[in-house]
Amino acid sequence: MVQIPEQVRRFVEEQRLGFVATVNLDGSPNVSPKGTVTIWDEEHLVFADLASPTTVRNLEHDPRSEVCVVDPVSRKGWRFRGQAEVLHLGDRFREGVRFFEERQLPDAPARIRSIVLVGVDALAPLISPAYSTGLTEEEVRRRSWSRFQKVYGQEGLGPK
């Protein structure tokens, strides 16, 4: 496994939303958003199974996974590849439930079906092709934010 650098850990903890890719039983790909993706320790990501029966089934059959976490405003992020471990019972499962209860899900014991740890074997940056045109991060952020305001309204509460 590789160590996740501090700057990458901070990034993931700020974003939380990750897209988890798994392999379906028939060999086809499955990608599912997970709103609880965060850092477990220096070598693992973690997410809570709140409503992820397909992802969990796939990982129990084939633990290979890839997780992408992207800041939609800067259009930068990280791709993590690794092996997943699904926890349903036991001390580590209870530790995971407490972890989420303390950080982001006060009702975790009632909602979490399982905890998924992903041991990171490789990580790589994700950078939008917008940067290849010479745009700075500030310009990309400004354009993204303007687009979001057009879609969701000035306050981000919904369509205008």
Query: What per-residue confidence (pLDDT) applies to 157?
Result: 64
3-state SS class at 113: coil
Q: Name the residue range of residue 156's domain.
A: 129-160
Q: Is the dihedral of CA 135, 138, 142, 145 positive or negative?
A: positive
Instruction: Specify the residue for token string 């992408």.
Output: 68
Q: Are residues 95 and 121 in the same domain?
A: yes
E-only strand ranges, 25-108: 29-34, 38-41, 44-49, 64-71, 76-87
**Does one domain contain both 117 and 153?**
no
The total of structural domains in the chain comes to 2
Confidence (pLDDT) at 156:
63
**Res. 159: pLDDT tops 70:** no
pLDDT tens track for 119-150: 999 999 999 999 999 999 999 999 999 998 98
**Whether residues 20 and 32 fall in one domain:** yes
pLDDT digits 0-9 by tens, 37-53? 999 999 999 999 999 99
CATH number for the domain spanning 97: value is 2.30.110.10
Q: Is residue 1 part of a domain?
A: no
Q: pLDDT confidence of 154, banded at 50, 70, 90?
A: confident
Is the predicted pLDDT of residue 158 greater than 70, yes or no? no
Q: pLDDT tens across 14-28, in order?
A: 998 999 999 999 999
Both 27 and 81 in one domain: the answer is yes
Is the model's pTM score more than 0.75? yes
Give residue for tokens 């407490």. Answer: 98
Over the stretch 90-126, which tens digit does the pLDDT of each residue have?
999 999 999 999 998 899 999 999 999 999 999 999 9
